[in-house]
Amino acid sequence: MNGETRTWNRPHLLDLESLSAEEILAILDTARSLKEVSTRSIKKVPALRGKVCVNLFFEDSTRTKISFSLAAQRLSADVIDFSASTSSVSKGETLRDTARNIEAMGVDAIIIRHRSSGAPHLLSRNVRCSVINAGDGAHEHPTQGLLDLFTMREHFSNKQPTNAKPKLLTSFAGLHVAIVGDIANSRVARSNIHGLAKLNAKITLVGPATLIPNDLKKLYPNAINISHDLDSVLPTVDAVNMLRIQFERLTSAAFPSVREYSRLFGLTKERLAKARPNLLVLHPGPMNRGLEITTDVADGNNSAILQQVTNGLAVRMATLYLCVGANSSHRSEN
């Protein structure tokens, strides 16, 4: 595979902002090679046999937590689920002490989701095992960003002339992607922005002015545009990523009403009819059906939402495989 010429030397995956394009492609290439494991009659490989992974989740999660658990199990690692409500954290123990105590039991990887931005970075400086960021505050959700990139790469790599052999994209140059919705509170949006920009895609952020921080354009001024008019943007893009409105993070009224938001920024069948016929529709989940996306679009032919979930498992297998492997090599050398 193409990833044979790309190297990965990081023991942690904390964000996409610090990764190079080559490192991102190394994960995507590895995920592609591991994806077929899930199609086997025995869905397991011995790559991480004898390793132990802990899900350290301080926020609710369905897809991400199950996906990481399955990813570790398919690599033959042992998995432990941590419950913050029944742990010593509820008695006042610090995150650092919790992680170091868990590591002292012989853990090889900590997969952490936390409400505070920077929590995975803090752990990475205080433990020797691998740390994988499963979402930290409104900062980043790197594996979600990677699975979105994987889904787009897989989709657009297959859009070759019928007489040509499908060739994996090594650049997203020429692709235009819209990210729509609650960008201010979305760690998914930030990971997507970093990943897409590093792979040379054109990005348009769409939503109410109250939900798009203007300083985001400063991150990649040549790649990012901002719009508050979905109808004008939709016909120009190749893919659209519809974000959930994060009511739990909103501190004030960001828009007049749910009905008004849906009217202006919801992806409906009528809007989709004005887009390019092969528009790729993404959503990180969970969906607010009828708000940011209607059921007929979410379940329609343009939707890759369930494919994202399938690809998420492959991406998380690749992340664990690469990070734990790199960390084992580093520790053995020292």
Q: Contacts by 30-33 with C-beta closer than 8 Å and gap 24+?
A: 30/1, 30/3, 30/318, 30/321, 30/322, 31/146, 31/150, 31/311, 31/314, 31/315, 31/317, 31/318, 32/1, 32/3, 32/150, 32/154, 32/168, 32/314, 33/1, 33/3
CA triplet 26, 31, 37: central angle to 5 degrees? 150
Residue 146: name the closest of 16, 20, 239 by CA: 16
CA distances from 278 to 94, 236, 325 (A): 49, 12, 39
The set of residues, in sequence order, having a beta carbon less than 8 Å from that of 258 and lying 6+ positions away, is: 291
CA torsion angle for 328, 58, 68, 296 (degrees, to 10)?
-150
CA-to-CA distance for 53 and 62, rounded, in angstroms?
A: 17
- Supply the residues annotated as catalytic: 63-64, 91, 113, 141
